[in-house]
Structure 1
Amino acid sequence: MAAAQQLEREATTQRDSAKLAKAYYQFGKVFNARANYLQAQQYYTKALGILTRRADSYELGQVYLRMSELEAEQEHSLKCIEYARTALAIFERIGSDKGRMIAYGALNNGYVKIWMSQQQSDRQHPLWDTLWQYTRASERLAYQLQDSLAIAEISISMGSLYAHAQDRKALLYLNRGKDYFQKKARLYLYQLSSTWITLANAHLALGEPARAYEALRAGERVYRQMAAENTIDRRFLETYIRYHKATRNFPKAFEYAEKLRALESKILLADREGAISRLNIAYETEKKDAHIKNQQRELQLRAENERNQRLLLGVGLCLLLGAIATSVAFYRLYRRNRRISHQNEVLVKEQNHRVKNNLQVISSLLNLQARRLTDEAARRTMRESQVRIESMAILHRSLYEQEQLAQVYLPEFVAELVENVGQSFGYRPSEQRINIDPMFLDADKATLVGLILTELLTNAWKYAFPDADASVLRISATQNERMLEIIVADNGPGWDGTTDQKSLGIRIIRAQAAQLQAEYGFKQHQGTVFWLRFSNQTTTL
């Protein structure tokens, strides 16, 4: 920080715009390392404002690479790829092999995040060839330049890909990169600590939790030698959660999940994504004033949504459905305005991301409140409300992580709902059969179906499974022409739905079924069976 401040003073005194751009770039790196993404984005944008008025240069491409890295850390894969492509074009125009090598790596990083977000491990997936295309291009240039550091970093990137594909080649590449950083540990503490984490994840993917734990402990010993980094700290917590899940130590997994949630809440307060988006729009406006008219309506909608989100934190569950309705309305608006530029698609995804984050904050607040309650009935009610909110968060995560902006992939959505309820109650049924036709469901219908399934699953975990010797859960969804039928069954003591008609759960099911214009009912057959049928225009895959 001191060096950047001194450089800024010198640039101001000498009226040297090139030096001032360098100072802004250094400030951006400092704030990026501290995970203060808002400040980092501000300084990178200032540097671009100076450098874009000049001829293409290595420094200009370098700033775009940093912005690509910044977007990658925030899981904005599309923006990460966009900035990396811009940097690559600049380096190709000026003939910089080193710049091209780094840009290929940034492109690979962006596509890796998309590939992993889709939970892919299939090498036949189209993205697999794209990933290796950029990885091989970067590796070829690294050997051509005889850049040992780059070769080590690319080896780790290749090892990560193989680990996600559950291929033991991952260990060969990861250990090659780790050995390089260990030889020069004083210079590369950050990279060495990060490599140990990646190696631990590789062992977990290969079903070797004991070796994963050893790698994590080794990484922590390195981590303690350097200043705390939020990015590394978060990766340690995430990997410990995976380790304890793999060893079925669920209390420990929950403990680390709470630590991760606290850290992400801290980062969320420092990184206002709405402000970052406004900076991006301001920069684009300086380049093309013509975009102002096309984006004016979207900016007003985003401002209104931000006000709704602040109110959401204060009033809780009552405004939750209103926020979701605003999100669905936003998607419908997007479909009607097909002529609006690609920038609008990015705005929609960012809006959903903010709603999802606020849902997580509300869930955390309910969890904290439940811990302070002494009445068990009140705590149980609070936990059920938390499960409902988390089902909404799952819906929004499904929306912004997929290419379909207003549709949810039903098999993944249902599986994640079941996993979420199981984690909330701390155990799984003895047998779990989920058979969902591969299909997409509109966002508004997915919202209603998600609330119904959440109530049914919560009821099964509360009343059916504790009384069953060998608990069984069956869920099926079948698309027959234009009718979708969903069946949820358990082997509990049985319930026909005629009692407790005034309970909150039954009222929620009744209300959501009415909005779906659906038929539904309960019956007893070796437990409780619920069926739901409604018209669905979305075709199966």
Structure 2
Amino acid sequence: MKIKCSFLACLIFLPFMSSFAQGVDNKELDSLILVYSNTKLHDTVRINAMDDACSKLIRTNPERAFPVVQRMLKSAGKIKGLKWKARANYQLGLYYAYIGKSDSARHFGHRSRTMYVNADNSLGQSNAANLIANTYYSGDPDSALFYYRESVELDNNAVVYLNMALIHKTKGNFPLALSLIKEALALLKINHDASVESFAYGVIASTHYSLYDFDQAETYYLKQLKLIEKVNDSQGFISVYTNLARLYFDKDDSKQSNVYLAKLLKISKKVNSDHGMASYYETKSRTLLSDGQFEEAKAHAELAIEKYTNVEGEGDVSFMLGILGKAEIGSKQYQLAIKHCTEGLELATINERIGGQELACDCLHEAYKALGQYEKALKFYVLNTKYKDSTYNIENAQKSAQQGMQYDFDKKQLADSLEIVEQNRQTEIEHITDLEKEKRFRVILFAIVGILFLFILFGYRENRRKKKQAVVLNEKNELINKSLHEKEVLLREIHHRVKNNFQTVSSLLKLQSKNVVDKEALRTISEGQNRIKAMSLIHQKLYQNETISAVSFQEYTEQLIKQITSLFSLRELEIEVQANDIELDIDTSIPLGLILNELITNACKYGLCSRDKGKLTVVINKPTGELYKLTVQDSGKGIPKDMDFSNIKSLGLRLVQQLTKQLHGSFNYQYVNGSLFEVTFRDTAYRKEID
């Protein structure tokens, strides 16, 4: 037993969407979030970013969109004028429409429309009227038509014509529906829009379905599916999967019907769509009813009614009550069948659903006949015949309209007057003319679509290639950064341990010196300790710095002078250090640190300790691109004039000379109101080039 549905569900297209649903670019979305989260920016800039983010998220991730819409509504209250308040209310209504809450969507749609009217914004008023019309679509088609007409008067929109065509088709007025489709196609010739093209495919397919031309309906539904697959539009998938599942069911292709039913169930669960689940339960109940599985058919019909009720689809509920009644008759629950079919007949009559009326009357006729109540059975048999006749007349009108869609004109119309024949002939001529125009339009449209497809395919492949490269590059960068971080931690630990080892050696020398009586030996041990401390200080600075590759010599020199002068009894000592912005690597820092240690120790020991006042100056600069210069000057008595620097016996000065050679530099001494030592040297990078 197969139930033919005279109204094929085709989800209304949301005409307030200005472009086809595109996959959200995460980078673009992240940039929008950064903009509207930046409180330093102007309120208008931030709310513009919120509006763009809402438009992208509502179609793909409504849950994530909701807090953004709320934030936009709050921000709009801080801006003068009605523009952004109206837009924020519109976006909130759009959000509720997309999740199936028609009452809330209608409420905010009316608020937005009122604000746009007061602001004299006709385009905004048109969009708000579209939103309101869509909320009335299933339950109150006359109110929907009222607001659609208001919208199209303000903004000539092809999508609104298509939505109006769907309503008139549902009410059985096929000639008017087809004329509205022509209006939409005429607008598409002027302003080509892929989103409207997809919707138009759905409307044309449903029209072919109503004409019982399943092959053509299949062709257009599959075209619509291809467009939807390109952009991964979840609501579009729900619509086309529903229609294909029902189409293949009516073609007796249960295998293909089940394939699309499974896809419909999967996507509906994924996006939590009540309308999608209702469509699934409806089609499944019809399949089960056809297979004689009445109890399971009842269960699915009840679930469909529940879901359609949630989305306020009264017209769909009326049809499902008829399906439920059929399943109850199959289970011999005649009283329940009468109850449900009576409710379905009332709803179908209110919503002008001829298919629902015919199904309810057929069900009531069978139920009363089974109970032996033949008078009532006859009553509903007569009503059923009446609705069938009405359907038959509609089918004749459909066949007349079908002439303009490449089908033979049915000359067996229920007409016997010359006036009607002449009228039909004129209609045929008009449709043939429209057909030729439509053919030209299709050729151009398909050519444009083909070119666009090639561009989109190339862009898609290039985008995928770049994304893959970016993913690989990011993974490599993460590994490199992780490795660098680990090495940096390891180097800091090594420098820390080396510094601790130097301190241990220094402590051991100090303990050893307690058992030494010889003053010369004690002096030598003390000098060794100072050199060890100088090297230890280098490693301490390395692991304490933000960067572990270089040592700041301003801080190092000041700390080294403080460390050395604490060992001598100096009364008043003026210290000057000039080494700003001088940072050296460890291979240069350790020899230079030892040179500084020796020269500062020499100045304190021989030049300054015998004076009441003194001055110690240390300067490190870079006079040329490759050469560094260290100057250590004190105000002491200086080195004896007869000292031969080529045959120095002092271990400290010999050490300075050797370390200077190691640094590819030179060592000079002169007396200028005290000892003045000059050491030139080069850094590691330059020394490696020479070597």
**Normalised by the size of structure 2, how large is the TM-score?**
0.36
**Normalised by the size of structure 1, how large is the TM-score?**
0.45
| Larger Rg computed on CA atoms | 2
